[in-house]
Structure 1
Amino acid sequence: MKDRIRALLDKNRSRALSTHHIIRKLDLQSRKQLDAMESALHKLVKDGDAEMTRNGQFRTRLKAEIIEGRVDFVNSRYAFIISPDTQQDAMVNANRLKNALDGDIVKVQLYGGAKDPDKRPEGEVIEIVKRGRTQYVGRIQLSKGFAFVIADSRKMHFDIFVKPNDLLTAQDNDKVMVEITQWPDRNRNPEGKVVRVLGPAGENNAEIHSIMAEFDLPFEFPKGVESQARRIKDDITEEEIGRRRDFRHITTFTIDPFDAKDFDDAISLQLLENGNYEVGIHIADVSHYVKPGTMLDKEAIERATSVYLVDRTIPMLPERLSNELCSLRPQEEKLCFSAVFELDKEAVVVNEWFGRTVIYSDRRFTYEEAQERIETLQGDFAREMIILNTLALKLKADRFARGAINFETVEVKFKLDEDGRPLAVIPKVRKDSHKLVEEFMLLANKRVAEWVYKQGKKGRGEYKSPTYVYRIHDSPNPEKLEGFSAFAKKFGHQLNTEEDAVSNSLNKLMLAIQGRPEQNVLETLAIRSMAKAKYSTEPEGHFGLAFEHYTHFTSPIRRYPDVMVHRLLQHYLDGGKSAEQDKYQKLCEHSSDREKRAADAERASIKYKQVEFMKLQDPETIWDGLVSGVTEWGVYVEIVETRCEGMARLADLKDDYYEYDDQNYRIVGKSNKKMITLGDKVKVKVSNTDIDRRTIDLELIEF
Structure 2
Amino acid sequence: MRRPVARKAKQAPPELPSPEQLIEFIKDSPGKVGKREIARAFNITGNDRIALKRLLKTLEKDGKLKRSGRVMAKAGELPAITVLEITGRDRDGELVATPAEWDEDTADAPPKILIVAQAARGTRDESQPAAVGDRVLAKLEASKDPQFPYHARIIRKLAGRNARVLGIFRHAKGQGARIVPVDKKARGELQVQPGHENSAQPGELVSVEVMRGRGHGLASARVKERLGDITSQRNISLIAIEHHGIPSEFPARVFAETDALNLFSPANRTDLRHIPLLTVDPPDARDHDDAVWAEPDDDPKNEGGVNVIVAIADVATYVRPGTALDHEARIRGNSVYFPDRVVPMLPERISNDLCSLREGEERPCIACFMTFDRNGTKRK
The normalised TM-score by structure 1 is 0.28
Larger Rg: 1
* Greater helix content: 1
